[in-house]
Amino acid sequence: MSAKPTRTGEFDLIAKYFAPLAKGEPGALNLKDDAAFLRPRPGHDLVVTTDAIVAGVHFFENDSPDVIARKALRVNISDLAAKGATPRAYLLTAVFPRDVDDAWVKAFAAGLKLDQKRFAITLIGGDTTSTPGPLTVNIVAIGEVPHGKMLTRAGAKPGDDVWVTGTIGDAALGLKVLNDALQLSEQHRKAVVARFHVPEPKPQLGHRLIGLAHACLDVSDGLVADLGHIAAESNVSIRIQAHDVPLSAAAKAALDKGVGLVDLVTGGDDYELAFTAPNAARPRLKALSRDTAIPLTRIGEVGKGRGVMLLDKNGNPVPYGRPGYTHF
């Protein structure tokens, strides 16, 4: 075990592991220039977003490299999805501790390759640097929307329905399980840990919400907190029917074990889409859900006023304290 891990120099590392990911986007110039160029498809705007993930904050230091890579890419794709954008390209800033070796980078690149294919997105540039601190991966993702059509957090109107994709709370439960703060059956454990490690962004749905949704975002900090952002930016209030929030079988089992519903709707890392749409959109949303095989659940409504209210079956407010995760 005395052998030092193999570590190729920075430029060879880029050429060996990252340049193969840049094929397919001519503007990437094989990752051999100072910058890349990108021409949007005719009639489209570029949508740009960035998110960093940090060891010890967003993932565990010993998580496998492909899982870290996929999470980094997927949280950014989730932001594109929320804006109705189709993924196109991304830049990768890899901030690696010195003990990261070739095998690690190779597996990391393999994770990226897998998801590039899955989401039709290509690496076009980045930066690689060492750090005495925790491993950090920052991605800038770029997508395309029809000119002037990017979905925003503003635009929700009183009377709108509030919708959410998939199920809520699973990733927060995954984190609890990984921290040994919750015991679940093997099957449920696997399901929620997978949700924490590798989120499922939904760009195939997001772009079809253009023309249907009035306001949209992705749920990353907690459902209540994030709907609060729509309420604030749209100058409206939002009422959520707590018992209508879609839960997985694992989440239902967790409730039976004493986890509070409030923990699920204020936990983070869901990477589902939440949006508001007029009542008239219901039939088209139902069809869209069928087409994409992505569950859509109506969980509340938009009203006049301010803020987010969580209501129980009897219409009484459920106190929730902290609405979601914040870093500071």
Quick one: which H or E segment has residue 195? helix 186-197
Structure tokens at 246: 């879609």
Min dist CB 137 to ligand ADP, Å, is: 9
Residue numbers 34-63 binding Mg ion by CB under 5 A: 34
Please give the distance of CA 140 from its chain centroid, rounded to a whole number. Answer: 13
Nearer to ligand ADP, 99 or 127 (CB): 127
Residues 248-267 that bind Mg ion (CB under 5 A): none
CB of residue 51 vs ligand ADP: minimum separation in angstroms? 15
CB 101 → ligand ADP: shortest distance, Å?
16
Nearer to ligand ADP, 15 or 210 (CB): 15
Laid out side by side, the sheet with 86-97 consists of 44-54, 136-146, 86-97, 122-131
Name the residue with the smallest CB distance to Mg ion.
Answer: 34
Task: State the DSSP H helix or E strand holding residue 296, giving kind and residue range, or none if neither.
Answer: strand 296-303
Minimum distance, C-beta of residue 35 to Mg ion, in the bound complex (Å):
8
Tell me whether residue 34 or residue 256 sits nearer to Mg ion (CB atom). 34
Phi, psi of 28 (to 5 degrees): -75, -15
Nearest distance, CB of residue 34 and Mg ion, angstroms: 3
CB of 170 to ligand ADP, least distance (A): 30
Nearer to ligand ADP, 13 or 245 (CB): 13
- Grouping H, G, I as helix, E, B as strand and the rest as coil, residue 231 is helix
Tell me the angle at which helices 170-178 and 186-197 cross, rounded to the nearest 10 degrees.
110
Residue that has been written with the tokens 């301010």 in this structure:
306
User: Which CB, 34 or 186, lies closer to Mg ion?
Assistant: 34
CA–CA separation, 299 and 246 (whole Å): 8
* Cβ atoms 82, 123 nearer than 8 A: no
3-class secondary structure, 264? helix
Q: What is residue 305's DSSP assignment?
A: S
- Smaller CB separation from ligand ADP, 94 or 240: 94
Q: Which of residues 99-138 bind Mg ion (CB under 5 A)?
A: none
Contact string (CB under 5 A) for Mg ion, positions 15-34, x = contact: -------------------x
Write out the residues near ligand ADP by the rule CB under 6 A. Answer: 14, 18, 31-34, 92, 94, 123, 125-128
- The least CB distance from residue 123 to ligand ADP, in Å, is 5
Q: Which is nearer to ligand ADP, 33 or 291 (CB)?
A: 33
By CB under 5 A, the count of residues binding Mg ion is 1
18 binds, among ligand ADP, Mg ion, none (CB under 5 to 8 A by kind): ligand ADP
Give, in order, the Cα–Cα distances in Å from 222 to each of 2, 209, 241: 46, 21, 15
33 is in the binding site of which of ligand ADP, Mg ion, none (Cβ under 5 to 8 A by kind)?
ligand ADP
How many angstroms separate the CA atoms of 10 and 134, rounded? 18
**Distance between CA atoms of residues 234 and 257, nearest Å:** 37
Report DSSP state, residue 191.
H
Kind plus residue range of the DSSP H or E element containing 275: strand 272-277
Q: What's the min distance (Å) between Cβ of 199 and ligand ADP?
A: 21
Q: Which is nearer to ligand ADP, 126 or 324 (CB)?
A: 126
Contact set with Mg ion (CB under 5 A)? 34
